[in-house]
Amino acid sequence: MSDVSLMVNGKRVSGAAEDRTLLVHFLRENLGLTGTHVGCDTSQCGACVVHVDGKAVKSCTMLAVQASGSTVLTIEGLANGADLHPVQAAFKEHHGLQCGFCTPGMIMTATDMIGRHPEGLDEATVRAELDGNICRCTGYHNIVKAILAASTTMKGSKGKAKQAA
Amino acid sequence: MGIEGVGARVARKEDKRFITGAGRYVDDMVVPGMKHAAFVRSPHAHAQIKKIDVKKAQGMPGVIGVLTGKELKADGIGNLICGWMIHSKDGSPMKMGAWSPLAFDRVRYVGDAVVIVVAETKGQARDAAEAVEITYKELKAVVDASKAMDKGAPQIHPEADNNLIFDWDIGNADDTEAAFGKAAHVVKMDIINNRLVPNAMEPRAALGHYDKAEDHYTCWTTSQNPHVARLVMSAFYNVAPENKLRVIAPDVGGGFGSKIYIYPEEIVCLWASKKTGVPVKWVADRTESFLTDAHGRDHHTHAEMAFDKDHRILGLKVETQANLGAYMSLFSSATPTYLYATLLSGQYNIPAIHANVKAIYTNTAPVDAYRGAGRPEATFVMERMMETAARQFGVSPAELRRKNFVTAFPHQTPVIMCYDAGDYAASLDAAMKASDYAGFAKRKAAAAKKGLLRGIGMSCYIEACGIAPSAAVGSLGAGVGLWESAEVRVNAVGTIEVLTGSHSHGQGHETTFAQLVNERFGVPLDSVSIVHGDTDKVQMGMGTYGSRSGAVGMSAIVKALDKVEAKAKKIAAHLLEADEGDIVIENGALKVAGTDKNVPWFQMALAAYTAHNLPGGMEPGLKETAFYDPSNFTFPAGCYICEVEVDPETGVTEIVQFVAADDFGNIINPMIVEGQVHGGLAQGIGQALLEGAHYDNSGQLLTASYMDYTMPRAGDLPSFKVSTSNTPCPGNPLGIKGCGEAGAIGSPPAVINALTDAIGSNDLAMPASPSTVWAAIRATKH
Q: Given strand B496-500, what is the order of strands in its sheet? A: B528-531, B496-500, B484-490, B623-628
Q: Where do the domains of chain A lie, and which CATH numbers do they carry?
A: 2-75 (3.10.20.30), 86-164 (1.10.150.120)
Q: What is the pLDDT of residue B2?
A: 73
Amino acid at B452: L
Distance from CA of B706 to the nearest CA of A (A): 6
* Cα angle: B638, vertex B642, B646; to 5 degrees: 165
Hey, is the C-beta of B678 within 8 angstroms of any chain A C-beta? yes
pLDDT tens column, B203-222? 999 999 999 999 999 999 99
Q: Calculate mean pLDDT across residues A147-157.
A: 92
Contact criterion met (CB below 8 Å) for B767 and B690: yes
Contact criterion met (CB below 8 Å) for B425 and B347: no
> What whole-number distance in Å separates Cα of residue B119 and Cα of residue B212?
20
pLDDT tens column, B34-50? 999 999 999 999 999 99
Which residue of chain B has the CA closest to A138?
A: B679
Hey, is the C-beta of B683 within 8 angstroms of any chain A C-beta? yes
Has residue A163 got a pLDDT over 70? no
> What whole-number distance in Å separates Cα of residue B731 and Cα of residue B485?
17
CA distances from B73 to B76, B229, B262, B592 (A): 5, 20, 18, 66
User: Which residues from B are below 8 Å from A45, CB to CB?
Assistant: 201, 286, 706
Hey, is the C-beta of B123 within 8 angstroms of any chain A C-beta? yes
What size, in residues, is chain B?
A: 782
> What whole-number distance in Å separates Cα of residue B755 and Cα of residue B768?
9
Question: B74 by DSSP, 3-state: which?
Answer: helix
Q: Which CATH number is B483-628 given?
A: 3.30.365.10
Query: Can you name the residues that pair with B208 across neighbouring β-strands?
Result: B219, B280
> What whole-number distance in Å separates Cα of residue B462 and Cα of residue B635?
7
CATH class for the domain made up of B417-464+633-782: alpha beta
Has residue B489 got a pLDDT over 70? yes
User: Which residues from B are below 8 Å from A109, CB to CB?
Assistant: none
* Number of inter-chain CB pairs under 8 A, A vs B: 184
Which residue of chain B has the CA closest to A144?
A: B714
pLDDT confidence band for B134 (50 / 70 / 90): very high
The closest of A123, A132, A138 to A151, measured between CA atoms, is: A123
SS3 letters for B380-409?
HHHHHHHHHHHHHHCCCHHHHHHHHECCCC
Furthest-apart CA atoms within chain A: distance in Å: 47
pLDDT tens column, B161-188? 999 999 999 999 999 999 999 999 999 9
Decide if B19 and A141 are in contact by the 8 Å CB cutoff: no
Hey, is the C-beta of B11 within 8 angstroms of any chain A C-beta? yes
Instruction: Give the β-pairing of B35-41 and B280-283.
Output: parallel
- Decide if the complex's ipTM is over 0.90: yes
Q: Calculate mean pLDDT across residues B545-560.
A: 94
Hey, is the C-beta of B250 within 8 angstroms of any chain A C-beta? no
**For chain B, percent of residues with pLDDT exceeding 70:** 100
Q: Given strand A11-17, what is the order of strands in its sheet? A: A11-17, A2-8, A71-73, A49-52, A55-58
User: Which residues from B are below 8 Å from A95, CB to CB?
Assistant: 11-12, 671-672, 674-675
Hey, is the C-beta of B15 within 8 angstroms of any chain A C-beta? yes
User: Which residues from B are below 8 Å from A41, CB to CB?
Assistant: 285-287, 705
pLDDT confidence band for A164 (50 / 70 / 90): very low
Decide if B679 and A134 are in contact by the 8 Å CB cutoff: no
pLDDT confidence band for A165 (50 / 70 / 90): very low
Q: Do domains B417-464+633-782 and B483-628 have the same CATH topology?
A: yes
What lies within 8 Å, CB to CB, of A9 at 6+ separation is A33, A72, A73, A74, A76, A77
What lies within 8 Å, CB to CB, of B700 at 6+ separation is B45, B110
What size, in residues, is chain A?
A: 165
> What whole-number distance in Å separates Cα of residue A116 and Cα of residue A165?
12
Decide if B672 and A76 are in contact by the 8 Å CB cutoff: no
Interface test with A, best of B13, B14, B19 (most A CBs within 10 A): B19
For chain B, domain boundaries: 417-464+633-782, 483-628
**For chain B, percent of residues with pLDDT exceeding 90:** 97
Upstream peptide bond of B767 is cis (omega within 30 degrees of 0): yes
pLDDT tens column, A97-140? 999 999 999 999 999 999 999 999 999 999 999 999 999 999 99
Buried b (16+ CB within 10 A) or exposed e, A149-162: bbbebbeeeeeebe
Q: What is the pLDDT of residue B587?
A: 87
Mean pLDDT of chain B: 97
Q: Give me the residue from B21, B252, B507 closest to A104, CB to CB.
A: B21
> What whole-number distance in Å separates Cα of residue B641 and Cα of residue B657?
8
Phi, psi of B226 (to 5 degrees): -60, -35
Contact criterion met (CB below 8 Å) for B201 and A47: yes
CA dihedral sign of residues B293, B287, B359, B377: positive
B680: DSSP letter = H
Q: What is the pLDDT of residue B563?
A: 98
Has residue A158 got a pLDDT over 70? no
Amino acid at B96: M
Q: What is the pLDDT of residue B780?
A: 86
User: Which residues from B are below 8 Å from A144, CB to CB?
Assistant: 714, 719
Contact criterion met (CB below 8 Å) for B507 and B544: yes
Instruction: Give the β-pairing of B113-119 and B35-41.
Output: antiparallel
Decide if A74 and B21 are in contact by the 8 Å CB cutoff: yes
Does the model's pTM come out above 0.90? yes
pLDDT tens column, B251-280? 999 999 999 999 999 999 999 999 999 999
Has residue B226 got a pLDDT over 80? yes
Tally Cβ neighbours within 10 Å of residue B453. Answer: 20
DSSP E strand stretches across B16-163: 35-41, 47-53, 63-68, 106-107, 113-119, 133-138
Mean pLDDT of chain A: 95
Question: A129 by DSSP, 3-state: which?
Answer: helix
Has residue B782 got a pLDDT over 80? no
Helix axes B555-576, B509-521, angle to 10 degrees: 30
Contact criterion met (CB below 8 Å) for B361 and B326: yes
Distance from CA of A9 to the nearest CA of B (A): 13
pLDDT confidence band for A161 (50 / 70 / 90): very low
Hey, is the C-beta of B253 within 8 angstroms of any chain A C-beta? yes
Upstream peptide bond of B410 is cis (omega within 30 degrees of 0): yes
The HSE-up count of residue B210 (CA atoms within 13 Å, CB side) is 18
Report residue B487 CA to chain centroid gap: 25
The closest of B154, B282, B286 to B707, measured between CA atoms, is: B286
Tally Cβ neighbours within 10 Å of residue B721. Answer: 14
